[in-house]
Structure 1
């Protein structure tokens, strides 16, 4: 529940010590260690003398004990000091310092108990109310925290700091309209820069950008070094697409001495949006001398479509001793996407060591490029190395199986599947892949058998349901079950064109031509680009006597380089 981070505006509740706690050491020194003017160092507190102390001396003594307990994080010592202090002088300040002691040690229940006891003796005490609200907030009891602060404000509408605290709480919990309604009300802090800052943040979320701009301009006019307000104002300009004003505002923030990377990165982004890549590059070079900053800047250049500027930032980093893997990964992306230099990209990725978090990703990237270059044996070897290094990486297994299957190395694909299924028994995705490999190899009966096994393990697996349903329909077998299976698949994947095609085909086989025609047209609307789907379109149209549509279906199928072109031409001639 702290306010904006500028020290001038930090909340007293969380950051100021109680007045008695602040004075305790000096008073104790005066009473027990000689004149204050000597300013001798305070020794660790001893037990009270056997002879009685005055109540004031005892209070100072136990405050010193509480300070020592806080310093050493000694809950037991602190609890005893608090007990003695509350017996000696149960003032509001004692309750505040006691509650804060427990809050700082995350002893929420003890802090709440002290705060409640304090409020029983000092109703509506501001600091105690804030501390009690903070205990609710620490346990995510948002409603109770909000209710407590609202009740306090209703009794003390002039207390602007309470409004700021509640406003910040409402903002952090996405209650933007409520925050705006609260913060714009008249109060002692209505025109305070922090109130204007929080109100502006609420306006931003409510899309009231002009109102946010007005509040922020007034905030920085009152407090010219309020960096957070300047940053929010720059962000508002960005949302308003006033990039020139946003750029000037970010530059002003840097002039104020702000050294955080975020401001520099925003300046780079803005200049790229304004199509000033060389100025953006100059800013990147002038920015913080930090590797992470340079990498983030390079990423922005890549994302915004300026790879050459990114490369100019990255190459000096790559020449340094032990550069981070991200440098080589980014350079490889540039080589791949922009230079189309796949061998160069592969070479760059080889610099990433196997203990780096990007190594697995680099293996997958290299495998993809090796496949594109038709260097299939190298791709297989690389994936096998990946599996050996990290056998729990499922994606390596999936890629190896898919690669072997695409190369029609079906025995090798099944061998890899056997090993994967030992590691992940009865895994439905692996079983589905096995069925797909059988299908690709032309072994339809085996594929159907495996897909039935998938359904037995996962009755809602949409792809397996569709495969079995379509296979049955295509064979003209068990059509009622085929319809149920396909409809079940479509409940989960209603926008998959090939599944809607399956529905059209089973209706066609059942003789439900109107339903088949409706479904096949829905498939075309979904953007299907498959010769089989267009052939189905032609077959259904022909069965309905729609000759023109039938010709259209067969002609569209022929445009897509079908395997059965001769058969389609024969169908076309037969209309």
Structure 2
């Protein structure tokens, strides 16, 4: 049985259409007059010209001739051929106009209805596509193919429950692997993975050659963390002769998740050898902690005779992310010549690594050289400002960021960095003005919302607005421990200590380890008379070597 999982437009059916082997039944022309015979002769003539042009590959002229033929003899087949040519020539609106006219002329022709619905679907006009098939079904309620087409359209438009209802009607009359497959798609849309997998098992019990069902099953098994099951599903796809890069990629990544790098490397011996595929999979080896294997893959690429031009970048990433050797990564990046089209990226990466390694002086030297060399790249000004601040020159860092904010007006990343640098210099009023500017530009900027809200709470002023800003930040990033700390602190300032305690407990449950959060934990616990919890909070705050350690000790001793 032939299954159709997505309705292919008529271009794919062109050989069938030209040969008329799947032509819809065309009404006869009985009792032709002499005038009608002449018109029929002209139609035959144009059809022969059309076929010659099509064989010669001149589709534009063929479409022009076919448009004339359609006026002389607008049969369903001629109209479908014309729409097909127009669609292939990217004349989509013209093709749809022809199909709409064909539907009005031949409302009972299923093929025309299907083509028009498919054309609407491709243009995301899903309601119109559904309306076409719905109209056809109202006249042909027992047409199973039309019910299946309707289910496909409903799934595509996100109407999953309606699709299931349609599919159940088909299943009652003629259950088939295709019906079960569409049911699985509908269940997936509804988020019911168990029902989807049950439907896919029905598909594969009836037809193990359906690649799409294996692919969906493998993906669902991955979501369920049934990695061994997913491996079996993707292996089945390979056995069926489908050897796309995506299948190989998933097999390799699943073996890495299962801590089987040797099997993953063995698969790479059989997988596609092109550098694009290898580099895409390389990140999985690095992410799973198999830096040595990642290095071997890069060695293979270099020995292949045509290594990718960015291989030094991948070497650097493997050394840094996989081997945790930033010095080695810097060594690779130094080898990138200035003539390389991505030299700026290698320089940016080097500066970031130097800053991470607390080699601020080297980072500062490189950043000073990079800014005039790449005047239109803001990242170097941001890196220079960071290097200046780390080198003990916050005033020059502020000047650099101020200049950058004038060059890149309304850039919230630059403005946020400026606001933070100002705050570190105790220039709170100026930092708040910058953060308020960010909120004006982007009302969803969670960090700026939290910054202003927390500052207001810490200064014990305009607490209702502080609460509003912080709650908005929390809504955007509900798992951010710093935002939850801010929420706890503003509730504490407002005297809502029960709410404050609930929020601060959520904050310390996250792996932030910030001494300020633990100090707030202690303060809120103390306000509720929870002396043991307060003592624990102050103790953990002191373990983080805070600047106000003496003040925290005094609070701890006063419990």
Q: How does 1:20-169 map to 2 (within 5 A)?
A: 21-22=18-19, 54-67=38-51, 71-74=57-60, 78-79=63-64, 81-87=66-72, 89-169=73-153
Q: 1:410 aligns with which of 394, 399, 416?
A: 394
Partner of 1:212 in structure 2? 200
Partner of 2:472 in structure 1? 492
Deviation sequence 1:53-105 (CA, Å, 0-9, x none): 95444222212444567643437x73564234433x33222232233333333
Distance in 1 of aligned mates of 2:429 and 2:174: 72
Structure 1 position 369, deviation (Å): 2.3
- Distance of aligned partners of 1:90 and 1:436 in 2 relative to their CA distance in 1, 3 Å threshold: closer
Structure 1 position 462, deviation (Å): 2.0
Distance in 2 of aligned mates of 1:320 and 1:203: 46
What residue ranges of structure 2 are gaps of 5+ in the alignment?
A: 22-35
Deviation sequence 1:124-174 (CA, Å, 0-9, x none): 111221232233224322011112113323433454443443333333333
Structure 1 position 408, deviation (Å): 1.8
Distance in 2 of aligned mates of 1:454 and 1:434: 9
- Distance of aligned partners of 1:265 and 1:100 in 2 relative to their CA distance in 1, 3 Å threshold: same
Partner of 1:447 in structure 2? 428
Partner of 2:299 in structure 1? 315
Distance in 2 of aligned mates of 1:396 and 1:360: 9
Structure 1 position 356, deviation (Å): 6.6
- Distance of aligned partners of 1:450 and 1:551 in 2 relative to their CA distance in 1, 3 Å threshold: closer
- Give yes or no for contact 1:432–1:454 (8 Å, CA) kept in 2: yes
- Give yes or no for contact 1:503–1:516 (8 Å, CA) kept in 2: no
- Distance of aligned partners of 1:214 and 1:81 in 2 relative to their CA distance in 1, 3 Å threshold: closer
Distance in 2 of aligned mates of 1:433 and 1:169: 48
- Give yes or no for contact 2:66–2:78 (8 Å, CA) kept in 1: no
Partner of 2:24 in structure 1? none
Which structure is larger by alpha-carbon Rg, 1 or 2? 1
Distance in 1 of aligned mates of 2:369 and 2:487: 41
Structure 1 position 298, deviation (Å): 2.5
- Distance of aligned partners of 1:127 and 1:521 in 2 relative to their CA distance in 1, 3 Å threshold: closer
- Give yes or no for contact 2:214–2:233 (8 Å, CA) kept in 1: yes
- Distance of aligned partners of 1:278 and 1:126 in 2 relative to their CA distance in 1, 3 Å threshold: same
- Residue 361 of structure 2 aligns to a residue in which SS? helix
- Distance of aligned partners of 1:331 and 1:22 in 2 relative to their CA distance in 1, 3 Å threshold: same
- Give yes or no for contact 1:540–1:550 (8 Å, CA) kept in 2: yes
Q: 2:248 aligns with which of 264, 284, 291?
A: 264
- Give yes or no for contact 1:452–1:468 (8 Å, CA) kept in 2: no
Distance in 2 of aligned mates of 1:293 and 1:429: 33
Partner of 1:383 in structure 2? 367
Partner of 1:329 in structure 2? 313
- Distance of aligned partners of 1:134 and 1:65 in 2 relative to their CA distance in 1, 3 Å threshold: farther
- Distance of aligned partners of 1:110 and 1:69 in 2 relative to their CA distance in 1, 3 Å threshold: farther
Distance in 1 of aligned mates of 2:387 and 2:141: 70
Deviation sequence 1:341-390 (CA, Å, 0-9, x none): 22111112334566778655544432232123332222123334444454
- Residue 207 of structure 2 aligns to a residue in which SS? helix
- Distance of aligned partners of 1:177 and 1:69 in 2 relative to their CA distance in 1, 3 Å threshold: farther
Partner of 1:39 in structure 2? none
Partner of 1:340 in structure 2? 324
What residue ranges of structure 1 are gaps of 5+ in the alignment?
A: 25-51, 474-478, 508-513
- Distance of aligned partners of 1:310 and 1:319 in 2 relative to their CA distance in 1, 3 Å threshold: same
Please tell me whether residue 434 in structure 1 is matched to residue 423 in structure 2: no
- Give yes or no for contact 1:537–1:553 (8 Å, CA) kept in 2: yes
Distance in 2 of aligned mates of 1:275 and 1:545: 49
- Give yes or no for contact 2:9–2:119 (8 Å, CA) kept in 1: no
Distance in 2 of aligned mates of 1:437 and 1:12: 58
Structure 1 position 260, deviation (Å): 1.7
- Give yes or no for contact 1:193–1:219 (8 Å, CA) kept in 2: yes
- Distance of aligned partners of 1:217 and 1:240 in 2 relative to their CA distance in 1, 3 Å threshold: farther
- Distance of aligned partners of 1:431 and 1:339 in 2 relative to their CA distance in 1, 3 Å threshold: closer
- Give yes or no for contact 1:66–1:82 (8 Å, CA) kept in 2: no
- Distance of aligned partners of 1:192 and 1:424 in 2 relative to their CA distance in 1, 3 Å threshold: same
TM-score normalised by L of structure 2: 0.77
- Give yes or no for contact 2:60–2:89 (8 Å, CA) kept in 1: no
- Residue 83 of structure 1 aligns to a residue in which SS? helix
Partner of 1:46 in structure 2? none
- Distance of aligned partners of 1:188 and 1:379 in 2 relative to their CA distance in 1, 3 Å threshold: same
- Residue 493 of structure 1 aligns to a residue in which SS? helix
Distance in 2 of aligned mates of 1:333 and 1:433: 26
Partner of 1:16 in structure 2? 13
Distance in 1 of aligned mates of 2:518 and 2:76: 82
Distance in 1 of aligned mates of 2:377 and 2:435: 22
| CA RMSD in angstroms, aligned pairs only | 4.1
- Give yes or no for contact 1:501–1:533 (8 Å, CA) kept in 2: no
- Give yes or no for contact 2:439–2:449 (8 Å, CA) kept in 1: no
Deviation sequence 1:295-318 (CA, Å, 0-9, x none): 233333333443332222222213
Partner of 2:542 in structure 1? 558
- Give yes or no for contact 1:103–1:111 (8 Å, CA) kept in 2: yes
- Distance of aligned partners of 1:484 and 1:168 in 2 relative to their CA distance in 1, 3 Å threshold: closer
- Distance of aligned partners of 1:274 and 1:12 in 2 relative to their CA distance in 1, 3 Å threshold: same
